[in-house]
């Protein structure tokens, strides 16, 4: 057990253990506190608690995860009642009747419209079922106070008839009136404990006190005061409403989701056997998540009620076990309250509420893994699949879950950041939390029943375990980056904020945006991978396509800009006032991390200059390579990659070398985080030099010194500005990965040499070692530091708008020869419809990396269309013809529609013929 401790010092030091298990920094020299002086304790209310977000996440997941079971129940109902019109195969029957009598394009449009209409109707039915769940939960929430009052506790005033109790009653009434004038107090005469309970709903809250507690008040008034203060603290902390609703949603889930599922499982055990164990795990998870949050809320209630030395003493006395075996809980995970020892230790200053735990991220991850996919599934049913690169429906759901998960997880990172800043210790490792979060999400995906359109990691694991593991590692890396970034932001912004609480709230909003977008794009990759055969090729294409998404780019830029803005603000603003962060010490100033901004600017400039001059000697070779490139007409993605690769490899080499040197200079023991963050900024600056220089080098090498400017003007036109954006993005993505890794390596090398020269414990220099007051105000420098990020945001914003605007009816460069070759390569004989279905369903089988930049899947769609035309089925023929015509016309959206229609009708055709 550790302790918060230590007022701010100029020099950081490793932490040491107190006798009572609390940790306090060991201060060298004059800063050592006397042994008898307890270290000051951080105020847990200085930052927002993460529990509200955990509560809300649990409630949202209870609602959304019900969709899994409702889909199965609805499907069973449709089958049982033979409701043909409710299912998409009604559309197949209609299309069968009109095939050959209307144009192919109209047939595809009519079929897709019909399927979307049916799907939307089904979606509304599901929403109705979910609303029933919510309505039952609300009803339970409303009726809950009545349920508690069924035991008819007596109003407190009735006890005043006893003369001895009149004073006690007055004492209680006064205490309650001071905090919650409208709260009503009752007495439970038969409860054997000396405790209390708060319940009710706004605005009528009630407190029930046990008679044993009031009886003791004559001899031991302290316990009554402590319990009453604890109950009133629950009211002040606004625990009652959320607690009751969490209780209500669980019971509603049992009544409206679990019970019907169990009934249907009894009727059709084979069909629903697979759902039973998942349902059991979901119920258990929701229960455990609720008890976990409630236990944390108890700590906050204790801390709120023990806010003064006297009230703390009374609370500690009340928590002291009266019997040797009291206070120990057999089922800690199922209990609503933590053990008394844990409560005492948190009250005494143990930093439990300031640590990045493992269980909380795992639970939050599992809830996200369970709840995200069905939510996207339902939104897609209502809105239809979004064909723009924004993937708005996924993004919106991602932002909702991102906000809740961030509140639950990144909030703890901010608290850990505050602990590190306040006690001058190193920020904690986030690796275990990131792994727990990842394991939670993947576990949630394993437990959740797979849905047809939203994809599942479990399906990928079954089809290609190696790819699934790669995706899991990617997720873990994203989470680790997110948590480290949150910690970095906390350590940068907390020392700057007038109110640390506001800084944490703003930081949480930023985290929600970034985490939500990352989450939605990871699930987007999962969806893409589940849609086709999950091969390595498809993985790379999906990842590159995702990297090129402008929304993601903007979110990454936001992530870069936020800590950078903090660095800039620190240089531009006067020293901030002390922060009120201690429970029992005056406000103090938090130490800010070291700002390697000058080193960043100098290194970026050096990289650009070296790249500008260093590539000139290789123009001869470049010209030899570029001589064969046709710089006219359509430039295919493959050609583009071939042209840009040599110049970018050179830029990459220079940038990596520069970042390594940067890490070597500004890194070292305790400075690795700032060095890595600085390297990220460095790469953002460098990419704005390297990409234009790459264009310049290409023009100069291809057209010579005289024709360079005219070629340079033509080059973006050949490539198209909408495809130049991806070049910046890929350049930045590659550079940031390689650059930060190089900076980390440089810093690690310096750390190693420091360790060799000073020994493993000597000369520790954490990055909070420099007090912030010595920073000279440089407002202009601060503003200049933000210029590249602002420029990048403007560029990517423009590209994002262009991408959305161009997504509707976009004509893409299609290799007509390749399309015709694929159409002709289809077998001539009459094929079985199933062969066309297989061909249409495997459009992603031969994807190449270049497809991420251009039309993508064209070859596969052409093959599917060719096979469909070779069948005798009139619907398949019509859809194949429509697909081929769209591809030859370069209308990718139409071709995708035709392919989707073919695949969809393939799925339902078996049902049609069976009926």
> Binding residues for other proteins, per CB under 8 A?
150-152, 154, 158-159, 162, 164, 188-199, 210-213, 215-216, 226-227, 230-231, 234, 239-240, 243, 247, 294, 297, 301, 318-319, 321-323, 325-329, 335-337, 339-340, 343
C-alpha to C-alpha distance for 753 and 759, rounded to whole angstroms: 10
State the pairing for strand pair 204-210/184-188.
parallel
Nearer to other proteins, 306 or 768 (CB): 306
What are the residues facing 17 on neighbouring strands?
A: 23
Q: Residue 358 CB, nearest distance to other proteins (Å)? A: 24
Nearer to other proteins, 227 or 654 (CB): 227
Nearer to other proteins, 329 or 903 (CB): 329
Sort 68 into a burial class: Cβ within 10 Å, 0-12 / 13-18 / 19+: buried
Question: What six digits make up the tokens of 720?
Answer: 């198209």
Q: Residue 157 CB, nearest distance to other proteins (Å)? A: 13
Residue 574 dihedral angles phi and psi, to the nearest 5°: -70, 165
Nearer to other proteins, 187 or 604 (CB): 187
What are the residues facing 186 on neighbouring strands?
A: 155, 208
C-alpha to C-alpha distance for 756 and 771, rounded to whole angstroms: 27
Nearer to other proteins, 334 or 721 (CB): 334
Whether residue 586 contacts residue 51, with contact meaning beta carbons closer than 8 Å, is answered with: no
Nearer to other proteins, 348 or 593 (CB): 348
Q: Residue 50 CB, nearest distance to other proteins (Å)? A: 18
Nearer to other proteins, 243 or 464 (CB): 243
> From residue 751, how far is each of 6, 644, 748, 757, 769 by CA, in Å?
27, 37, 5, 10, 16
Nearest to 889 by CA among 822, 836, 806, 810: 810
Nearer to other proteins, 321 or 598 (CB): 321
Question: What six digits make up the tokens of 684?
Answer: 């953002």
Sort 828 into a burial class: Cβ within 10 Å, 0-12 / 13-18 / 19+: exposed
Q: Residue 200 CB, nearest distance to other proteins (Å)? A: 10
Nearer to other proteins, 101 or 330 (CB): 330
Nearer to other proteins, 90 or 241 (CB): 241
> Residue 709: left if φ>0, alpha if ψ -120 to 50, beta else—which one?
alpha
Whether residue 460 contacts residue 493, with contact meaning beta carbons closer than 8 Å, is answered with: no
Q: Residue 807 CB, nearest distance to other proteins (Å)? A: 49
Question: What six digits make up the tokens of 386?
Answer: 């979004």
Q: Residue 221 CB, nearest distance to other proteins (Å)? A: 15
Nearest to 61 by CA among 299, 334, 257: 257
Q: Residue 138 CB, nearest distance to other proteins (Å)? A: 18
DSSP for residue 29: G
Q: Residue 335 CB, nearest distance to other proteins (Å)? A: 6
CA dihedral sign, ordered 69, 75, 79, 80: positive
Q: Residue 304 CB, nearest distance to other proteins (Å)? A: 13
Q: Residue 329 CB, nearest distance to other proteins (Å)? A: 7
Nearer to other proteins, 234 or 415 (CB): 234
Nearer to other proteins, 105 or 329 (CB): 329
Which H/E stretch holds residue 23?
Answer: strand 23-25
Q: Residue 137 CB, nearest distance to other proteins (Å)? A: 16
Nearer to other proteins, 213 or 497 (CB): 213
User: CB 111: neighbour CB atoms within 10 A?
Assistant: 27
Peptide bond into 322 cis (omega under 30): no
Q: Print burial letters for 154-169: b (CB count within 10 Å at least 16), e (below 16).
A: eebeebeeeeebeebb
Q: Residue 663 CB, nearest distance to other proteins (Å)? A: 50
Nearer to other proteins, 294 or 675 (CB): 294
Q: Residue 310 CB, nearest distance to other proteins (Å)? A: 18
Q: Residue 527 CB, nearest distance to other proteins (Å)? A: 38
Q: Residue 197 CB, nearest distance to other proteins (Å)? A: 4
Q: Residue 143 CB, nearest distance to other proteins (Å)? A: 14
Cα 77 to its chain centre, rounded Å, is 35
Residue 210 dihedral angles phi and psi, to the nearest 5°: -75, 145
Whether residue 597 contacts residue 802, with contact meaning beta carbons closer than 8 Å, is answered with: no
Q: Residue 180 CB, nearest distance to other proteins (Å)? A: 13
C-alpha to C-alpha distance for 174 and 178, rounded to whole angstroms: 6
Nearer to other proteins, 159 or 675 (CB): 159
CA dihedral sign, ordered 375, 378, 381, 383: negative
- Beta strands (DSSP E) in 62-218 are 154-155, 184-188, 196-201, 204-210
Q: What radius of gyration do the chain's Cα atoms show?
A: 32
Q: Residue 193 CB, nearest distance to other proteins (Å)? A: 5
User: CB 426: neighbour CB atoms within 10 A?
Assistant: 17
C-alpha to C-alpha distance for 161 and 171, rounded to whole angstroms: 15
Nearest to 251 by CA among 222, 281, 286, 218: 286
Question: What six digits make up the tokens of 548?
Answer: 């090129």
If you search the block for the tokens 């460098």, which residue do you land on? 686
Nearer to other proteins, 237 or 549 (CB): 237
C-alpha to C-alpha distance for 677 and 489, rounded to whole angstroms: 10
State the pairing for strand pair 196-201/184-188.
unpaired
Nearer to other proteins, 335 or 588 (CB): 335
Sort 451 into a burial class: Cβ within 10 Å, 0-12 / 13-18 / 19+: buried
Nearer to other proteins, 197 or 421 (CB): 197
C-alpha to C-alpha distance for 567 and 13, rounded to whole angstroms: 24
Q: Decide: helix, strand or coil at residue 332.
A: helix
């Amino acid at each position: 057990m550790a302790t918060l401790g230590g007022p701010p010092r100029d020099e950081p030091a490793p932490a040491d253990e107190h006798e009572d298990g609390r940790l306090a920094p060991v201060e060298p020299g004059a800063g050592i506190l006397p042994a008898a002086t307890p270290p000051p304790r951080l105020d847990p209310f200085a930052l927002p608690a993460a529990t509200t977000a955990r509560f809300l996440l649990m409630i949202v997941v209870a609602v959304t995860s019900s969709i899994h079971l409702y889909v199965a129940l609805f499907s069973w109902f449709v089958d049982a009642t033979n409701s043909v019109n409710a299912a998409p195969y009604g559309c197949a029957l209609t299309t069968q009747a009109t095939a050959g009598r209307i144009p192919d394009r109209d047939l595809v449009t009519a079929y897709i419209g019909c399927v979307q209409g049916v799907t939307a109707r089904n979606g509304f039915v599901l929403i109705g079922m979910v609303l029933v769940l919510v309505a039952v939960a609300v009803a339970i929430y409303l009726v809950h106070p009545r349920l508690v009052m069924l035991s008819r506790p007596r109003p407190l005033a009735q006890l005043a008839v006893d003369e001895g109790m009149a004073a006690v009653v007055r004492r209680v009434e006064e205490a309650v009136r001071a905090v919650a004038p409208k709260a009503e107090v009752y007495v439970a005469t038969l409860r054997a404990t000396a405790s209390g309970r708060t319940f009710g709903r706004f605005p009528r809250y009630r407190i029930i006190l046990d008679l044993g507690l009031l009886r003791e008040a004559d001899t031991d008034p302290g316990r009554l005061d402590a319990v009453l203060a604890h109950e009133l603290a629950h009211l002040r902390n606004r625990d009652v409403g959320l607690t009751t609703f969490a209780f209500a949603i669980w019971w509603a889930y049992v009544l409206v989701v679990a019970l019907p599922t169990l009934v249907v499982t009894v009727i059709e055990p084979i069909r629903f056997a697979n759902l039973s164990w998942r349902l059991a795990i979901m119920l258990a998870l929701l229960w455990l998540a609720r008890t976990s949050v409630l236990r944390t809320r108890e700590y906050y209630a204790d801390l709120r009620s023990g806010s003064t030395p006297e009230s703390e003493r009374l609370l500690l006395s009340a928590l002291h076990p009266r019997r040797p075996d009291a206070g120990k809980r057999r089922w800690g995970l199922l209990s609503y309250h933590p053990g008394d020892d844990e409560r005492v230790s948190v009250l005494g200053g143990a930093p439990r509420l300031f640590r990045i735990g493992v269980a909380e991220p795992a639970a939050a991850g599992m809830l996200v893994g369970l709840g995200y996919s069905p939510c996207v599934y339902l939104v897609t049913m209502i809105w239809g699949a979004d064909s723009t690169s924004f993937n708005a429906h996924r993004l919106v759901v991602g932002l909702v879950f991102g906000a809740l998960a961030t509140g639950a997880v990144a909030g703890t990172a901010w608290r850990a950041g505050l602990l590190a800043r306040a006690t001058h210790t190193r920020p904690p490792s986030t690796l275990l939390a990131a792994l727990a979060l990842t394991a939670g999400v993947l576990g949630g995906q394993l437990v959740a029943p797979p849905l047809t359109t939203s994809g599942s990691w479990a399906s990928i694991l079954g089809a290609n375990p190696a790819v699934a593991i790669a995706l899991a590692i990617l997720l873990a890396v994203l989470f680790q980056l997110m948590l480290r970034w949150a910690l970095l932001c906390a350590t940068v912004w907390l020392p700057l904020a007038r109110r640390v609480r506001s800084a944490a709230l703003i930081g949480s909003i930023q985290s929600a945006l970034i985490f939500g977008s990352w989450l939605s794009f990871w699930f987007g990759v999962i969806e893409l991978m589940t849609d086709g055969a999950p091969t390595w090729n498809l993985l790379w294409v999906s990842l590159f396509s995702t990297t090129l998404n402008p929304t993601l780019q903007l979110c990454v830029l936001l992530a870069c800009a936020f800590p950078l803005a903090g660095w800039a603000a620190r240089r531009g603003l006067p020293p901030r006032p002390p922060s009120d962060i201690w429970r029992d010490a005056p406000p103090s100033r938090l130490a800010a991390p070291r700002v390697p901004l000058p080193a960043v600017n100098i290194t970026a400039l050096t990289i650009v200059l070296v790249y500008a001059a260093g590539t000139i000697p290789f123009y001869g070779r470049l010209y030899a390579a570029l001589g064969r490139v046709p710089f006219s007409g359509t430039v295919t993605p493959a050609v583009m990659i071939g042209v840009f690769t040599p110049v970018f490899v050179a830029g990459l080499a220079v940038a990596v070398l520069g970042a390594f040197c940067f890490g070597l200079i500004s890194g070292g023991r305790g400075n690795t985080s700032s060095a890595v963050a600085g390297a990220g900024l460095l790469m953002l600056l460098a990419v704005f030099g390297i990409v234009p220089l790459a264009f310049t080098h290409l023009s100069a090498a291809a057209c010579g010194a005289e024709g360079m400017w005219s070629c340079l003007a033509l080059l973006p036109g050949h490539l198209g500005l909408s495809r130049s954006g991806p070049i910046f993005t890929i350049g930045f993505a590659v550079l940031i990965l390689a650059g930060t890794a190089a900076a980390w390596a440089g810093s690690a090398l310096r750390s190693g040499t420091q360790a060799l020269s000073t020994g493993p414990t000597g000369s520790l220099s954490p990055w909070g070692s420099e007090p912030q007051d010595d920073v000279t105000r440089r407002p202009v420098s601060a503003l200049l530091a933000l210029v590249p990020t602002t420029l990048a945001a403007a560029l990517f914003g423009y590209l994002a708008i262009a991408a959305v605007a161009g997504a509707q009816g976009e004509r893409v460069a299609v290799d007509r020869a390749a399309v015709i070759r694929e159409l002709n390569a289809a077998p001539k004989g009459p094929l079985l419809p199933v062969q066309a279905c297989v061909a249409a369903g495997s459009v992603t089988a031969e994807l190449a990396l270049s497809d991420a930049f251009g039309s993508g899947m064209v070859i596969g769609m052409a093959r599917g269309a060719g096979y469909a035309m070779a069948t005798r089925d009139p619907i398949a023929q019509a859809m194949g013809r429509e697909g081929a015509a769209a591809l030859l016309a370069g209308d990718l959206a139409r071709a995708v529609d035709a392919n989707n229609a073919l695949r969809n009708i393939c799925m339902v055709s078996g049902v049609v013929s069976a009926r």
